[in-house]
Amino acid sequence: MQSTRVAILGVDVGGTFTDAVLLDGGRVRTAKVPTAERQEESVLAAARAVGARDVERFAHGTTTATNALLERRGGRTAYVGNAGFEHLLHLRRQTRAHLYRLCAQHPEPLVPLERCHGVRGRLGPAGELEPLGEIPDIGDVDAVAVCLLFSFRDASHERAVAGELRRRHPGVHVVASHELAPEFREYERASTVAADAYLAPVAARYLSALADAAGAAGLPEPLVMLSSGGVATLAEASAHPATILVSGPAAGVVGAGLVARRAGFADAIAFDMGGTSTDVCLLPGGRAARVAERDVGGLPIRLPSVDLHTVGAGGGSLVRVDAGGAIHVGPESAGAHPGPACYGAGGGATVTDANLLLGRLPGELPGGLVLDRDAAAAALAGVDPAAVVEVVNAEMLRALRVVSVERGHDPRDFALVAFGGAGPLHACALAEELGIATVLVPEAAGVLSALGLVAGDERRDRVVSHVRPLAEVSDLPQDGEADLRYRGQSFELTVPLQRDLAGAFHRAHADRYGYSDASREIELVAVRTADIVPGSAIDLHATASRTVSGPELVELPGATCWVPDGWSGETNDDGTLVLSR
């Protein structure tokens, strides 16, 4: 009887490097290549570098949608809303962009005023109050976002408008809010659907090019990592690219959860420091906490997402000294080209250069890149490299506190999973500041996001809006989450569905706010569920056994770990370095 060989490929595109992991018949292979301007070229280069062939499943994490939104490179988009509410994207909420800086401006909406159109027609609780009027001419656009009042409760008008626009403009991408985010709060829903429409032309071009390139290379059509931590088909990601805005970082969180669970740590914090940014996420029970909404580029996106907090601090973050002599690190980055000064391509001073001068990096990185110590010293002339590391650590420490202390969690109850090319260099110092006793450094730390892609579940998230008293609801599903609040409150708490849902909400409210009121009516706002197909089981094996005692430099495939004085540890059966004070 022949054993069945299964090859699964995961490729994650980052700002500096593109990482690949190939699970081939139980054996894990990894590779890392510089990110090219055309991401699909980097994906294929990474697949070749890892030796991918006869691949059965191919999962991909991408920054295409994120970069397009942040750099405002989306399609020419129109917005259609109710007459009198067509300027909703510009009216926003009444909150200021910054509480104490009155001159601070909100980001410009993705759709300018002249392309915002209104259509007559209104729906009320009892049905239609005013029939739909004539749908306006939207002009020459690439995409249209449709968002009508109360479509989360009754989508008939919105469905009719979207259908007519698709009939009139067959080559234009039309997305309606009830198809993407059927939830109350019109502005957040409008912002989400506008971003989705805006990104669709760019994402569709990239994903189509990737599919063609993968097919030509003999690879299967890729699955794409969603912001919620699962993978979906290429067609689903192309239709709604707002769902992949946190694609790559979400894959890293999946990988970190896998490592933490296999190491026997139920609660952990994922700490992913790459070349351009650092992402942190709480992992209660070894799985990512999720939120229903997050800001991307200053715009609210009302879609399920892993609860990441991101700061512009990475190994490639540029160092500068202001007129007062203070050291600043990031958010600007040297990227892959030219990269840090020590790469020898004319780049500026970075955190990587500081770590090299402190003796925390080897002379040659994985992939054969020889580091130029003299170039690093020249770039940082007059700047103490230890002070640079202290500054960047302070920025990352704030991020770790956001997802732990500020959410009511004691970081001392968690292990810190350090990954990314630079994460293991800084993890022990950060853990010591937070009182964290254990740091986990996976053997595949430099490519853990790609490992998360290999292990990721297929996931389809769904939401059903209620906005009615909990006591009136009797048809709740067994699994999922509920958004609940006391009647009259403006914001909700998310509680896992269970038999005593009211009691669970009272307890969650007391944990978060310090009090609860059992006599007060509870309102069910929404129910969130997901259809999940479990990903492949991964059996990790250590390629090398290590016992370390700081101060010591540990070279890993794709990353480097600095073990400071007072820290020590050894690898477990998975190859994960378990460090403690």
Domain spans of the chain, in order of start: 7-69+207-247, 73-202, 460-533
Q: What is the pLDDT of residues 111-158, one digit of tens each?
A: 999 999 999 999 988 889 999 999 999 999 999 999 999 999 999 999
Backbone angles phi, psi at 330, to 5 degrees: 70, -175
Check residue 112 and give its pLDDT.
96
Q: What is the pLDDT of residues 355-385, one digit of tens each?
A: 999 999 998 876 677 899 999 999 999 899 9
Counting beta carbons within 10 angstroms of the beta carbon of residue 564, is it exposed (0 to 12), middle (13 to 18) or buried (19 or more)?
middle
Scan for tokens 């990239």, then name that residue: 206
Q: What is the pTM of this model?
A: 0.87
How would you classify the pairing of strands 116-119 and 77-82?
parallel
pLDDT for 575 beyond 70: yes
pLDDT for 315 beyond 90: no
Counting beta carbons within 10 angstroms of the beta carbon of residue 482, is it exposed (0 to 12), middle (13 to 18) or buried (19 or more)?
buried
The arithmetic mean of pLDDT across residues 383-398, rounded, is 94
pLDDT for 203 beyond 90: yes
Backbone angles phi, psi at 208, to 5 degrees: -65, -45
pLDDT for 4 beyond 60: no
Could you tell me if 448 and 255 are in contact, meaning their C-beta atoms sit under 8 angstroms apart? yes
At 474, the pLDDT band (50, 70, 90 cuts) reads confident
pLDDT for 345 beyond 90: no
pLDDT for 2 beyond 60: no
DSSP-based three-state secondary structure for 345: coil
Per-position b or e across 410-421, b if 16+ CB within 10 A of its CB = ebeebbbbbbbb
**What is the Cα–Cα distance from 198 to 177, expressed in whole angstroms?**
13
CATH code reported for the domain at 7-69+207-247: 3.30.420.40
The arithmetic mean of pLDDT across residues 478-492, rounded, is 93
Backbone angles phi, psi at 416, to 5 degrees: -105, 115
- From residue 195, alpha-carbon distances to 146, 150, 244, 303, 550 in Å are 11, 19, 12, 11, 48
Per-position b or e across 264-284, b if 16+ CB within 10 A of its CB = ebeebbbbbbbbbbbbbbbbe
At 1, the pLDDT band (50, 70, 90 cuts) reads very low
Could you check whether the bond before residue 331 is cis, i.e. omega within 30 degrees of 0?
A: yes
8-state DSSP, 470: G
**What is the Cα–Cα distance from 501 to 466, expressed in whole angstroms?**
15
At 524, the pLDDT band (50, 70, 90 cuts) reads very high
DSSP string covering 109-128, please? PSS-GGGEEEE--EEETTEE
